[in-house]
A and B are shown apart, each in its own frame.
Chain A
Amino acid sequence: MMTPELIEAERPYLLRYALAQLRDRQAADEVVQETLLAALESRSSFAGKSSPRTWLTSILRFKLIDAVRRQSREVPLEPFEDTLDEADVDALFDASGHWQHAIRAWSGPEQELVAKQFWEVFERCSQVMPRRTAMAFVMREVIGMEIADICKNLGITATNCSVLLYRARMSLRECLEIRWLGGGAA
């Protein structure tokens, strides 16, 4: 049975998820409230086939997609040119385009560590990304939206979208390597 207490207990998790996507405390709070209310109202329809968290997350995702659409209309993002500085990516390669440092294989325990602490990892590592870059990453990798929808939400072309995703992935991988897995150049 889905009790109000079980629903409420997931609030911190949902907030973290929403915050990673929206990067705005108030907007994230609002989306989480809407989600909790929707869940409370429809809790009798919970079939018990998934965990409370999975069920709540599926509601939150719909609300988040709406919120992202709203936000991209209301909150101006940094000029797109600001996100195109490739210096950070360039620094990973030498003059002939080879990796500066060997890419070390991640072991099983390391993979598990990242999976368990995904939101914490992402929160920290996405701080250095421009907002649009982090949003593109969450829409694609976390929510699993199609590229065409992401472009529309962010008001950019498909090519620019793939540049953002490339930079987000490079940045996150580098951050994981250095901060969480204790390897890399640090």
Chain B
Amino acid sequence: MRINCKQASRLISDALDRPLSKSEYLRLRIHLFLCGNCNEFSRQLQLMQQTARKAGRGE
């Protein structure tokens, strides 16, 4: 089953907090292959997390 961007964005966020199930992981990976917007969204969430963590360490 294919997922849309809204569902993908939720999985991208969840993946920062917990390991995805196999089916979630596969659906997301396939979606990311096809969707530039979600790819960029994923990069931005990771960047926000790294930035926040650095600030959190006082760096």
Shortest A159–chain B CB gap in Å is: 10
Q: Whose C-beta in chain B lies nearest to the C-beta of A144? A: B53
Q: A99-B37, A142-B53 are in contact. Are A93 and B17 (CB under 8 A)?
A: no
Which parts of B1-50 form the interface with A (CB within 8 Å)?
4-7, 9-10, 13-14, 16-18, 36-38, 40-41, 43-45, 47-49
Q: Whose C-beta in chain A lies nearest to the C-beta of B58? A: A57
Shortest A76–chain B CB gap in Å is: 25
- The residues of B that contact A96 with a CB separation of less than 8 Å are 4
Q: Which of B's residues lie within 8 Å of A, judged by CB?
A: 4-7, 9-10, 13-14, 16-18, 36-38, 40-41, 43-45, 47-49, 51-59
Query: Would A165 and B53 count as touching, CB distance under 8 A?
Result: no
Residue tally, chain A, CB below 8 Å to B? 45
- The residues of A that contact B38 with a CB separation of less than 8 Å are 99, 103
- The residues of B that contact A147 with a CB separation of less than 8 Å are 17-18
Which parts of A29-82 form the interface with B (CB within 8 Å)?
51, 53-58, 61
- The residues of B that contact A102 with a CB separation of less than 8 Å are 37
Query: Would A170 and B37 count as touching, CB distance under 8 A?
Result: no
